[in-house]
Structure 1
Amino acid sequence: MSTADLPYRPCVGVMLLNGSGKVFVGQRLDTTLEAWQMPQGGIDPGEQPLETALRELGEETGIRPEHVSLIAEAPQEFRYDLPPELIGKVWKGRYRGQVQRWFLFRFLGSDNDIRIDTQHPEFRAWKWADPTDLPTIIVPFKRTLYREVLGAFSTHLG
């Protein structure tokens, strides 16, 4: 099977804004890169994207649904392709990349409500980042995606 025949993994992404207009980002445990990313994860069969966003946010950050308020959902899906060296190595080789629904949430809690030491931790560190810094601190193959997400939510940022 060629790469072009592989499907995209259905996924969600979460942009979480604090009261200062900064965005939550975490450093993945499974890489030594200094790259940061926003929470994201796969949509389970039968699950609605908004449900997935809230579940993934909890699984990756410990943030409970009562600590967030939905601001917006991006009007379109976004997709990205994995670099060739990662195809066949991640997601058991079943996907060529991801197709994502993105949600923008306001964080209503305090930093003490963020617990990345979850049952199945994904991040080794976290911080609040300026939205304009996101494309420069993400892994290079996701930079275009992050610019598109920033564009989709631009009326709600800064």
Structure 2
Amino acid sequence: MGDPESLPYRPCVGVMLVNRDGLAFVGRRAPGGQEIGETFAWQMPQGGIDDGEDVYEAALRELYEETNVKSVEKIGETRDWVTYDLPPDIVGKAWKGRYRGQKQKWFALRFTGKDKEIDVEKPGGGHHKAEFIEWRWEKIENLTGIIVPFKRAAYEEVIAELAPLVAK
């Protein structure tokens, strides 16, 4: 595999989906992912950007593919890309060992639909593999405590920038 630091970051998007009460959507990852026990198995929707795909369109696509949600309004986005590195024991396994971690552009979106629109068991209109086995609305200030530890600094950065936009 070589030196992990010589590998590029995987281009990715993330979505902080918030409801009318200012709570953020989190999904519990299906077993076998990057979770470390049940405590840290939660995350906000995120995923890779296809070649040539517009970054915001990628965020909307990933959100739909993971949650079935289409009813959103854009609140804002991070100014810069947010990066995180995978732990050394995961680098060679995740994404076929091609990336050291991810660089993510994050979007804050307000959910304008009803909770019944959310379907993590049959996301993407039933055409995508479920990535989450359950979901809930969570206080934004609690998010860093339920994400895998290696993503914590990235979440802190995203929350510091996007949470004030959500509160407006």
Same fold per superposition (TM over 0.5): yes
After TM superposition, what 4+ stretches of structure 1 lie above 2 angstroms from structure 2? 30-33
Correspondence for 2:150 among 131, 135, 141? 141
- Superposition deviation, residue 43 in structure 1: 0.4
Percent of counterpart pairs with the same letter? Answer: 51
Correspondence for 1:156 among 125, 148, 165? 165
Which residues in structure 2 correspond to 1:98-137 (within 5 Å)?
98-117=102-121, 118=123, 119-137=128-146
**Equivalent residue, structure 1, for 2:10:** 9
Correspondence for 1:59 among 62, 65, 80? 65
Amino acid at match of 1:133: N
1:39 pairs with 2:37: no
**Equivalent residue, structure 2, for 1:28:** 29
**Distance in 1 separating the partners of 2:54 and 2:110:** 20
- Superposition deviation, residue 120 in structure 1: 1.1
- Superposition deviation, residue 5 in structure 1: 1.1
Between 22-31 and 87-96, report the one with greater CA deviation.
Answer: 22-31
Ranges in structure 1 where 5+ consecutive residues have no aligned partner: none
- Superposition deviation, residue 156 in structure 1: 1.9
Correspondence for 1:71 among 66, 70, 75? 75
- 1:99-130, Cα deviation, whole Å (9 max, x unpaired): 00000000001110001122211001100000
User: In the comparison of the two structures, how many residue pairs are matched?
Assistant: 156
**Distance in 1 separating the partners of 2:94 and 2:163:** 31
Amino acid at match of 2:103: V
Ranges in structure 2 where 5+ consecutive residues have no aligned partner: none
Q: CA RMSD in A?
A: 1.1
SS at match of 2:130: coil
Given the two structures, how large is their TM-score scaled by the length of structure 1? 0.95
- Superposition deviation, residue 56 in structure 1: 0.2
